[in-house]
């Protein structure tokens, strides 16, 4: 149950001044449905009204607050609505006009009575060398001067919501904030020089200058740290519960592993051996494994996964490996099949394409324990898929699956199935902590020996004919190339060259040696084209990003990415990783359409300068922000109101360590600080984790 102290913050926004039924939906879309959501909606700018000149000194374009005498009202000629209504005002230095379009004269006479003194505040504009002010933001009597906000916060808006409406509602929301207990460590607070949560939030809504809007200002840092701590503590509680869940001790004999290693034409790298040792430690432990294996494109994660699955088979159990697409599942099957055959391991594939009697026979063998390792797609989740004794579930390209799917697959083995999650998308440390903080993490940071660097070049699309000539020469010497386009067909919205059009263009030059794959083709058609490319019957494969992940054709040495400026860094890096897999020298051509934005320029430069996926991932986070980085809604990435992972990475590391300390000292959150931390978890809506304390 949510603590009673927080009830006012979780009331509907309609309880706030100025938000009736008509405004409710708009404000909810902008900030959220609860009073708390408006407390979290921080200003993005400010209006400074402290400049108080005389009329004659007022500068063009400045916001000015001026004390004036009201002179005459000049209405436009009757019937001419295009001309404004003017009110002349003056002080001892000169006079100026206040300008109103679509004016209501009765209202203006009430607000600006002739002969009286008023304080006006708004933007000065020069018109025919004289100052004027259109629609002043504020008109006050001298007695009301204290009501004028000299520095006014400016909030992000949406259509149909004005600053005045939102400011009034947010002031009402902040008044509802109860006196909350302090959940931060007092020594840490003192060291940072931070105030209480309530005072900090009030300060964040009342910026004095532009420095207060900076993510690294004291107020914003304190709020970000509170939110990051809530996130890390929630993940630590989930992880604690996972560790409490009994697993099975999987101890292999090493016999099958030796047979597989004898078939691999290279030795494992130090990083692969380290990752394998960490996985073995988890498999042998009496609790469930939940580990993330991160490795850059071509770093050899699949071999590590196979050796882990071999241990499960040696222990008399089964393993499963799930991929997000059929192309990738079949690719895994082809990679693993010769190695499994050599070791005498029974391997099978299950995708949506297996139907009828074939499927029935496969499921019957699986349930009988005759299949040691099952590779597949989402089809592995279906209710009729039953294992005799599943002990290890491997999920490839985790960011394509939701957390619930990860748990669903592990549930196939009953209690205690070990889960290893793999990704070839290098994830910055900050995102690893926030999205996968419930997991242990292994990183493969080396590439297998003998991999040559990829020559990456940036070319304007105008040099397409040069590119084609170069391709002719390369194909004549037996090379194979990918040509990636961003869209399947022309769209007026996005003027990108369609894959279909580029295919027709290249086919006219190179004939039947050109093939095409894209997401709208049937799986069987895609496979047929891929097989021709693998066999060398096709030399140029035109594709959309369906080839981004996992496709392995060592003979392909050229990657052309058209409209490279439209792709994110992680995607460009993944695509480039399709070449450079064999012994031949590989190149990657990034064709762009100018003019380039600063961000696009930075992205392409990073691609040219480095192949290190982890450096690229950190840069991608800096350029794009966390929200876009993992690419999918179901990435499990939490939404943050205050924390910015690029700006607050150092605070995240401290929050991570603090959460671990809290769990070590007070796993049930029973102490005084523990109780306050429970309130914090509810406040930031991480209360799912509190159920784990009770059920754990």
For 604-661, the pLDDT digits (tens) are 999 999 988 888 888 877 776 554 444 433 344 567 899 988 789 889 989 999 999 9
Given a contact cutoff of 8 angstroms between Cβ atoms, the answer to whether 394 and 305 are in contact is yes
Please indicate, yes or no, whether the overall pTM of this predicted structure exceeds 0.75: no
Tokens of 373: 């390792």
Tokens 């058609």 — which residue? 525
How far, in Å, CA of 165 to CA of 538, rounded? 63
What pLDDT digit, counting tens, does each position of 377-396 carry?
Answer: 888 877 888 999 999 999 88
Crossing angle of helices 218-244 and 688-695, in 10° steps, is 30
Q: Which of 630, 627, 635 is nearest to 571 (CA)?
A: 630
> What average pLDDT does the structure give for the chain?
87
Which positions ≥6 away from 207 have C-beta within 8 Å? 43, 46, 151, 153, 213
> What radius of gyration do the chain's Cα atoms show?
32
Of 17, 119, 27, 26, which Cα lies nearest the Cα of 64? 119
DSSP state of 148: S
CB half-sphere exposure, 613, CA atoms < 13 A: 24
Using CA atoms, how far apart are residues 526 and 530, in angstroms rounded to an integer? Answer: 6
Strand order in the sheet with 480-484: 454-460, 586-592, 556-561, 480-484, 540-543, 514-517
Peptide bond into 670 cis (omega under 30): no
User: Which one of 3.40.50.300, 3.40.630.10, 3.30.870.10, 3.40.47.10 gives the CATH number of domain 255-444?
Assistant: 3.40.50.300
Task: Count Cα atoms within 13 angstroms, Cβ side, for 657.
Answer: 7
Residues 552 and 574 sit within 8 Å (Cβ to Cβ):
no
Strands (DSSP E) contained in 461-553 are: 480-484, 514-517, 540-543
Cβ atoms of 49 and 63 within 8 Å: the answer is yes
Most confident by average pLDDT, 462-476, 497-511, 681-695: 462-476
Q: Which of 9-23, 111-125, 399-413 has the lowest mean pLDDT?
A: 399-413
User: Comparing C-alpha atoms, which of 441, 368, 361, 362 is closest to residue 398?
Assistant: 441
Given a contact cutoff of 8 angstroms between Cβ atoms, the answer to whether 505 and 464 are in contact is no
1-15, 245-259, 290-304, 439-453: which range is least confident on average?
439-453
Mean pLDDT of 122-136: 94
CATH of 454-610, one of 3.40.50.2300, 3.40.50.150, 3.40.50.300, 3.40.605.10: 3.40.50.300
SS3 247: coil
Predicted confidence (pLDDT) per residue in 328-360, tens digit: 888 899 889 999 999 999 999 998 888 889 999
CB burial of 237-252 (b: ≥16 within 10 Å; e: otherwise) equals bbbbbbeeeebbebeb
| Distance spanning both ends of the chain, measured CA to CA | 17
Taking alpha carbons only, the member of 659, 664, 673 closest to residue 228 is 659
For the cut 80, the answer to whether the pLDDT of residue 438 exceeds it is no
Separation between Cα atoms, residue 533 and residue 554, nearest integer Å:
11
CATH of domain 50-148: 2.40.50.140
Angstrom distance (rounded) from CA 512 to CA 274: 46
How much is the pLDDT for 495? 40
Q: Where are the beta strands (DSSP E) in 221-353?
A: 290-295, 318-322, 347-350
Mean pLDDT for the stretch of residues 79-87: 87
Residue 159: strand pairing partners: none
Q: Identify whether the C-beta of residue 348 lies closer than 8 Å to the C-beta of residue 371.
A: yes
Task: Write down the H helix ranges in 477-612.
Answer: 499-510, 523-535, 569-576, 598-609
Domain spans of the chain, in order of start: 4-46+157-213, 50-148, 255-444, 454-610
Which run of H or of E encompasses 591? strand 586-592
How does DSSP classify residue 279? H
Residue 195, burial from CB neighbour count under 10 angstroms (0-12, 13-18, 19+)? middle
Q: How confident is the model at residue 288 (pLDDT cuts 50, 70, 90)?
A: confident
Q: What is the DSSP letter of 487?
A: B
Examine the pLDDT at 123 and tell me if it is beyond 70.
yes
Q: Which pair of tokens denotes residue 595?
A: 């003019």
pLDDT at position 26 over 80:
yes
- Tokens of residue 222, six digits: 């304190």
Torsion of CA 154, 156, 161, 162, to 10 degrees: 20
Angle (CA) 420-425-426 rounded to 5° is 95
Weakest-pLDDT range from 279-288, 363-372, 442-451, 547-556: 547-556
Q: What is the 3-state composition of the chain as percent helix, strand, coil, each rounded to the nearest 5?
A: 45, 20, 35
231/656 Cα distance (integer angstroms): 9
Across 268-282, 446-460, 512-526, 564-578, which has the greatest mean pLDDT? 268-282
Stretch 521-531: mean pLDDT, rounded?
84
Distance CA 617, CA 445 (A): 13
CA-wise closest residue to 302 among 274, 277, 327, 334: 334
Three-class secondary structure of residue 627 per DSSP: helix
* Confidence grade of residue 494 (pLDDT, cut at 50, 70, 90): very low
Say yes or no: do domains 255-444 and 454-610 share a fold: yes
User: In this predicted structure, what is the pLDDT of residue 68?
Assistant: 97
Fill in the DSSP letter of residue 278: H
Which token pair is 245? 């869940």
Cβ count within 10 A of residue 560? 26
Q: Identify the pLDDT of residue 260.
A: 96
Q: Is 519 within 8 Å of 546 (Cβ atoms)?
A: yes
Choose among 456, 441, 446: nearest CA to 298.
446
**Which residues, at least 6 apart from 25, have a Cβ–Cβ distance to it below 8 Å?**
none
| Strand 290-295 with 418-423, pairing | parallel
**What 8-state DSSP symbol labels residue 129?**
T
What whole-number distance in Å separates Cα of residue 182 and Cα of residue 442? 36
What length does the chain have?
696
Would you tell me how many other CB atoms lie within 10 Å of the CB of residue 290?
23
What integer pLDDT is reported at residue 487 of this predicted model? 59
Residue 273 has pLDDT above 70, yes or no: yes
d(CA 415, CA 276): 23
Residue showing tokens 């009331």: 11
Structural contact between residues 687 and 669, judged by C-beta atoms closer than 8 angstroms: no
Residue 323 phi, psi (nearest 5)? -120, 155
Listed residue (201, 233, 209, 307) closest to 264, CA to CA: 307
């Amino acid at each position: 149950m949510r603590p009673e102290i927080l009830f006012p913050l979780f009331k509907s926004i309609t309880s706030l001044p100025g938000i009736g039924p008509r405004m409710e939906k708009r404000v909810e879309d902008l900030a959220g449905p609860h009073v708390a959501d408006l407390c979290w909606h921080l200003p993005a700018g400010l209006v400074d009204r402290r400049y108080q000149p005389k009329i004659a000194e007022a500068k063009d374009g400045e916001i000015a607050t001026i004390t004036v005498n009201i002179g005459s009202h000049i209405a436009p000629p009757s019937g001419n609505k295009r001309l404004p209504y003017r009110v002349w005002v003056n002080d001892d230095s000169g006079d100026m006009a206040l300008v109103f379009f679509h004016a209501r004269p009765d209202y203006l006479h009430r607000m600006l009575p002739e002969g009286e003194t008023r304080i006006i505040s708004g933007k000065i504009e020069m018109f025919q060398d004289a100052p004027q002010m259109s629609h002043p933001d504020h008109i006050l009597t001298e007695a009301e001067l204290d009501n004028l906000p000299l520095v006014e916060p400016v909030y992000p808006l949406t259509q149909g919501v004005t600053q005045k409406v939102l400011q009034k509602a947010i002031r009402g929301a902040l008044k509802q904030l109860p006196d909350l207990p302090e959940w931060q460590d007092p020594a840490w607070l003192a060291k940072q020089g931070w105030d209480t949560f309530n005072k900090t939030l009030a300060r964040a809504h009342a910026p004095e200058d532009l420095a207060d809007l900076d993510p690294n200002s004291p107020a914003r840092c304190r709020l970000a740290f509170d939110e990051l701590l809530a996130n890390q503590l929630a993940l630590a509680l989930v992880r604690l519960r996972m560790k409490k869940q009994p697993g099975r001790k999987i101890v292999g004999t090493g016999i099958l592993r030796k047979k597989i290693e004898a078939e691999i034409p290279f030795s494992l790298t130090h990083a692969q051996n380290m990752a394998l040792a960490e996985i073995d430690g988890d498999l042998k432990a009496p609790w469930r494994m939940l580990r993330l294996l991160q490795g850059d494109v071509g770093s050899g994660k699949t071999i590590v996964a196979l050796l882990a699955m071999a241990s499960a088979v040696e222990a008399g159990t089964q393993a499963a490996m799930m991929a997000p697409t059929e192309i990738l599942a079949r690719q895994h099957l082809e990679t693993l099949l010769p190695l499994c055959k050599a070791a005498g391991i029974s391997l099978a594939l299950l995708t949506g394409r297996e139907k009828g009697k074939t499927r029935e026979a496969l499921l019957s063998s699986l349930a009988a324990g005759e299949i040691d390792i099952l590779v597949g797609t989402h089809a592995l989740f279906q209710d009729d898929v039953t294992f005799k004794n599943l002990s290890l579930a491997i999920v490839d390209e985790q960011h394509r699956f939701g957390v619930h799917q990860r748990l669903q697959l592990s549930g196939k083995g009953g209690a205690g199935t070990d889960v290893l999650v793999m990704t070839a998308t290098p994830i910055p440390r900050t995102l690893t902590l926030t999205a996968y903080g419930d997991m242990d993490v292994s990183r493969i940071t080396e590439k297998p020996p003998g991999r040559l660097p990829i020559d990456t070049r940036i070319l304007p699309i105008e040099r397409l004919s040069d590119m084609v000539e170069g391709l002719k020469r390369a194909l004549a010497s037996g090379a194979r190339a990918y040509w990636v386009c961003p869209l399947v067909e022309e769209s007026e919205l996005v003027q990108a060259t369609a894959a279909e059009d580029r295919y027709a263009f290249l086919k006219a030059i190179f004939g039947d040696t050109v093939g095409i794959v894209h997401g709208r083709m049937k799986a069987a058609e895609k496979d047929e084209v891929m097989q021709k490319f693998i066999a060398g019957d096709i030399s140029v494969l035109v594709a959309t990003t369906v080839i981004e992940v996992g496709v392995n054709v060592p003979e392909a040495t050229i990657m052309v990415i058209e409209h490279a400026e439209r792709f994110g860094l992680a995607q460009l890096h993944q695509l480039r990783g399709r070449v450079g897999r064999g012994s031949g020298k590989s190149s990657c051509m990034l064709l762009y359409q100018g003019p380039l934005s600063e961000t696009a320029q930075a992205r392409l430069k990073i691609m040219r300068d480095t192949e290190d996926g982890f450096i690229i991932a950190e840069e991608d986070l800096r350029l794009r922000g966390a929200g876009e980085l993992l690419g999918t809604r179901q990435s499990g990435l939490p939404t943050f109101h205050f924390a910015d992972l690029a700006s607050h990475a150092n605070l995240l590391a401290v929050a991570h360590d603090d959460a671990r300390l809290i769990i070590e000292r007070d796993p049930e959150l029973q102490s005084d600080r523990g109780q306050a931390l429970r309130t914090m978890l509810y406040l930031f809506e991480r209360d799912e984790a509190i159920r784990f304390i009770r059920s754990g």
